[in-house]
A and B are shown apart, each in its own frame.
Chain A
Amino acid sequence: MTLHSVEAIEDYIADYIGRELFISPSEIDFSEPFGSFGMSSMSGVKLIGLLEDKIGVRINPTLIFSNPTIESLAKKLFEMKVSNAVMT
């Protein structure tokens, strides 16, 4: 499975956070900072690795600090995916 749109990336991240925290993805606000969900540091690192595989780009962990919400990170990752595809 690959993630082909900003929405698909957003849903993937929300699903992941929901699974890790045993909460319904519908309770997750895409514009809230990641820090507010109470996810473990290990879960955060795992998510980065999963996104790298699903999107096919290398993600510098500091990207989360400059794009601290699901909304902004998904947008940024999609841009990276597109520019990656154009280059190759």
Chain B
Amino acid sequence: MFAKSGMTDYEIFSAAGALPVQDVLALRAWLTPEKTLFTFLGDDGEETGGLTYRELWSRCEAVAASLALSSRPGDRIMLFYPPGLDFVSAFVGCLMAGRIAVPVNLPSRRRAERSVRIIQDCGARLALGLSAQIDEFRASFEGSEAADMVWIATDALEPGAGAPPTSRSAVDMNAVAYLQYTSGSTSNPKGVMITFGNLTTNCRMIRDTLRLNDESTMVFWQPHHHDMGLICAILLPIVIGNHTVLMAPNTFVRQPMLWIELIAKHRAEVAGGPNFAFDITSERYSAERMAGLDLSRWRLALNGSDIVRPTTLDRFSDRFGPHGFRPETFLVCYGMAEAVLFLSAGPVGQKPRYAAVDVDALEQHGQARPPSAPEKERLLVGCGEPSWEVEVAIVDPETRRRLPDGEVGEIWINSPTIGIGYWGNPEESRRVFQARIAGDSTKIYLRTGDLGFVNPDDFQVYVCGRIKDLIISEGRNLHPEDIEYSVVGALAALGESSTLSCAAFNAQQGDEQLIVAVVEVDRSLKRNLADRRPEIERAVRRAVSADHGVSLHRLLFIPPSAMCKTTSGKVQRGLMRQLYVGGAIKGLEPAEAAA
């Protein structure tokens, strides 16, 4: 493939958009071996690591060589890494070796269960990590089904010494490259199977939609076990051949201004995150720290994976406008791990589009209507125009009929980036990944579970909510049943019944997306609430944050039989949420509980 003296810019561009990512890395290690690909920054923004294209290739080769000795093609390989560059070589090393990479969040003592369930689900027997952490992970898996995991410390491997190969790898583009476990609850994890072809296509789509090239410097802090961090911050850079500056999520959350300083310092073109990232950065704005900084080179401020709020965009523009930030820099995006990452954005260089809808019609009837009165207006932000490679259909989720333009329905997607299903779950895979529109059997679609509409006037996808009762918090998807399990478990640990009904859901208050849990009391809980309510509430909140790392914002106790249930006794979360939003749920007052 590269057995020639050089390649034209057209050839390089086509090759990077067509080859598997590991081959693009080999190509770039040959073309620009000494160019810095990644710089990693520590807690105070100091440089703690860096990799050139050639160095990354050598490290990946070492990982691939080690995997060749210890596993077989197609084996699932768990990746347990803290934020940092070791993850990158482990992930791409798996791709090179034709092993299926499974990136996951680190297990903690409280949260080992999620990792164990994923390991069981995908049947992995080998895990990669850092020598300093492996013993700790072994200890947290002790006594579990993951106890006999074989571990390789990739930081201890000697980087490969050979030159990059000059012929393309024999990889089948339809083979699974990695599993993305961001869907599914703890008890029922779902690993999206993404092929080499899906991955290459999605990186190319992002590159083309965003008009990126090898000079498009990026600054990212997203966790690598999430789709945005994995694709935008780690794999896309290899494809476009740029320099990317990375830092840990906690570094950003602790000092958001550091992120802004880095964007200015590195004259970065691309940086972004979920909506909350722009909120906390505005909150922490410091004129002193901004002195002399210029943000005018920042071309794309990606905002995706959570609900985008007009007020967030306005406030950020007000704060950073005087420093060269332009409102048209915001690039609102839509996508999901089931389709690698990216589906729609832009057009680049234009301000985000808004649609004003009636909040009651939307919340209660799922319809996008013009506001009936000024105070009923809710502004939705357009999540961009679908890539030319993506077809969006708005479908009635019950009848599976295509809905006319402008009506709200489930968002269905046809795209070459749709994964081939959930690992080991053919039934659910068929339902979600191979849906067919009534009266049109020519194409298959991904059912996103998102409700939305496409505005025929501006081609934008507007996302209005979820069909599934998913809870979205700070860009993460949480399953209500996991939160409910923690709430009921905490009450049971206090001696209450372990069969109390609980409904957990998201509710919007002002600009905040709150996590609410409603618990139906029985006689014993009612009595105990009267005596020691603060203690009980604290125990519940503590359990939710320890299990899931999120704050429970509202905890309501409701009288016996006030919970809406189906005839089979299942809690009707959606209905409880509607009642809550409509102000129709009244929690027991402390005095009432005493009565």
Contact = CB atoms under 8 A, between A and B. Distances in A.
Interface in A20-39: 20-22, 27, 35-39
B286 A49 contact: no
B255 A39 contact: no
Interface stretch (B171-179, B312-320, B443-451, B539-547): B539-547
Interface in B506-557: 514, 534, 538, 540-546, 549-554
A37 B534 CA distance: 11
B474 interface: yes
B348 interface: no
Contact of A21 (B44, B286, B551): B551
Contact of B255 (A20, A21, A22, A52): A52
A48 B554 CA distance: 24
A40 to B, nearest CB: 4
A21 B591 CA distance: 22
B253 interface: yes
A27 B536 CA distance: 13
A58 B549 contact: no
Given A38-B552, A39-B551, A40-B551, A45 B538 contact: no
A64 B100 CA distance: 39
A39 B550 CA distance: 7
Contact of B551 (A20, A36, A45): A20
Given A21-B553, A22-B554, A45-B250, A38 B542 contact: yes
A87 to B, nearest CB: 19
B44 A45 contact: no
B284 interface: yes
Contacts, number: 60
A41 interface: yes
Given A22-B553, A45-B253, A45-B254, A38 B284 contact: no
A40 B549 contact: yes
A6 B506 CA distance: 37
Nearest to B552: A38
B254 A43 contact: no
B549 A53 contact: no
Contacts of B514: 22
B543 A38 contact: yes
Given A21-B551, A37-B541, A42 B253 contact: yes
Nearest to A17: B551
Given A36-B542, A37-B538, A38-B544, A49 B549 contact: no
B545 A40 contact: yes
Given A37-B542, A41-B545, A53-B284, 19 more contacts: A21-B552, A22-B553, A22-B554, A35-B542, A36-B542, A38-B541, A38-B542, A38-B545, A38-B546, A39-B551, A42-B549, A43-B551, A45-B250, A45-B253, A46-B253, A46-B280, A48-B254, A49-B255, A52-B254
